[in-house]
Amino acid sequence: MAMRFPSDGMEEDEVIRELKIRTREDLTFDSGRILGSMCTSPHPLARRVFEMFIDRNLGDPGLHTGSRRIEKEAVGMLASLLGLEGGYGHIVSGGTEANILAVRDMRNMSDSEKPELVLPRSAHFSFLKASDMLGVRLVWAELRDDYTVDVRDVERKITDDTVGIVGIAGTTGLGVIDDIPALSDLAVDYGLPLHVDAAFGGFVIPFAKALGYDLPDFDFRLRGVSSVTVDPHKMGMVPIPAGGIIFRDKKALDSISVPASYLAGGGVSQATITGTRPGASALATWALIKHLGFSGYVRVVDRVMKLSRWFASRIKLMDGLRLVREPVLNIVSFTSTAMDVGTLGTELRARGWGVSAHRGYIRIVMMPHVRKENLEEFLRDVSLLLAGNASNL
Ligand code: 0PR
């Protein structure tokens, strides 16, 4: 779009006014109409901390040594949530960067000249970016009827060029958890690293387990797990950007570090993809974990898990709709037997609902901003659309 760089400036108020008007068409989390996003309205404390420390740059940790120490503590607390004492990693820009760093580590630790990664068909598209950037070939393992990866197929696909295995704890489309214990055994047997993508599930599963939900182990408690992606900017309720990558061993971080020794403090190296990067993200993550604690996140997860089960039971009662599978976490996906799902998604978006229809189903992510009233209203719109569609036949 052709836009001229303005020769003279506008008043601050005028700039703000224009931005407010221009963004009116954006859907906001507060409206309760965003039902298909893994992000949410950030917690007020995390928002406040983010704003207070917006000038901190972890790309030059010698300048902001206090922030760097706080990032290390944030990583330590995430590692502890995932069953690991210690742990190495960073608060990064999101799950994409975290997954890229994990694949970069697996590739660098191997001596294969034609590196391959075995991953589930349900993996997030960030692995396509990792593959393209790092020259690692993706070898897809098939899913079983319950949409978890077929561990026997993973095993069949391991070759001498395999650099690692990926398992998913909370898939993007359905929120299902792969059989990570079995993948861990496989990783140990074959001497391969296992990366668990818990970008979404990492901030749900530990709390749901504490509430009594019967979910498989997925983290460093399993010997074969060498790295985990866990994103504070999803269910962690921290402002974007805040992803997390945690490695079990320090040598993993070393394998992806480059020297940046001229920076303040000297002897500095960087493992992240981004150079200059927000300290505010790490500080907001630290602050919210300290403030909510385990029990605070348990309360958040309790509500959204219950809401998901209620919503799933409502879908089951509706003619013309079918659950893709029983929800495992706080994601409920359904399809229609009465109407093309793509058309249903388009019609819902036209009525102001923020939903995505992909892989043949509509995904509802029960984030903390979603209220029962929003879901009731959504279901009324779905019923009207199904009825309208039926009368057109
Ligand atoms: N791994 C998994 C399992 C994911 O679901 C995602 C993102 C990622 C990695 C990548 O994370 P970043 O997007 O932080 O790099 N999954 C969401 C999705 O594709 C991202 C998203 C978030 C999409 C909010 C839409 C939205 O409104 O659904």
* Residue from 100, 124, 196 whose mutation best tests the ligand 1 pocket (most atoms within 8 A of CB): 124
User: Region 156-176: what's the mean pLDDT?
Assistant: 98
Please provide the average confidence, as pLDDT, over all residues in the chain. Answer: 96
Interior CA angle at 240 toward 287 and 306, to 5°? 75
Ligand 1, atom 21: nearest CA belongs to which residue?
A: 38
**How high is the pLDDT of residue 359?**
80
pLDDT for the residue 267: 66
- Output DSSP code: residue 49: H
Residue 189 has pLDDT above 70, yes or no: yes
**Ligand 1 mean position to 22 CA, how many Å?**
26
pLDDT surpassing 90 at residue 370 = yes
Q: Is pLDDT at 266 greater than 80 in this prediction?
A: no
The token pair at 159 is 């070759």
Greater model confidence, 359 or 236: 236
Architecture per CATH, 44-291: 3-Layer(aba) Sandwich (3.40)
User: What spacing in Å lies between the alpha carbon of 204 and ligand 1's midpoint?
Assistant: 15
Residue located nearest, by CA, to atom 22 of ligand 1:
38
**pLDDT tier for residue 389 given thresholds of 50, 70 and 90:** confident
User: What secondary structure, in 3-state letters, does 355-369 show?
Assistant: CEEECCEEEEECCCC
For ligand 1, what atom is nearest to the CA of residue 39? 24
In the predicted structure, residue 392 carries a pLDDT above the cut 70: no
pTM assigned to the model: 0.97
Quote the CA–CA distance of 309 and 369 in Å, as a whole number: 17
What span, in angstroms and rounded, lies between the C-alpha atoms of 212 and 109?
Answer: 38
Q: How confident is the model at residue 358 (pLDDT cuts 50, 70, 90)?
A: confident
One-letter amino acid at 146 equals D
Topology given in CATH for the domain delimited by 27-42+294-391? Aspartate Aminotransferase, domain 1 (3.90.1150)
Task: For residue range 218-255, list pLDDT tens digits in order.
Answer: 999 999 999 999 999 999 999 999 999 999 999 999 99
pLDDT at 393 over 60: no
374 CA from centroid of ligand 1 (Å): 22
Nearest C-alpha neighbor of 378 from the set 359, 360, 364, 361: 364
**Residues at CB less than 6 angstroms from ligand 1:** 37-39, 94-96, 99, 124, 126, 168, 172, 197, 199-200, 231, 243
**What residues does each domain of the chain span?**
27-42+294-391, 44-291
Q: Which atom in ligand 1 lies closest to the alpha carbon of residue 363? A: 28
The pLDDT assigned to 1 comes to 81
Note the pLDDT of residue 35.
Answer: 98
Mean pLDDT value of segment 106-127? 98
Contact 363, 333 (CB under 8 A): yes
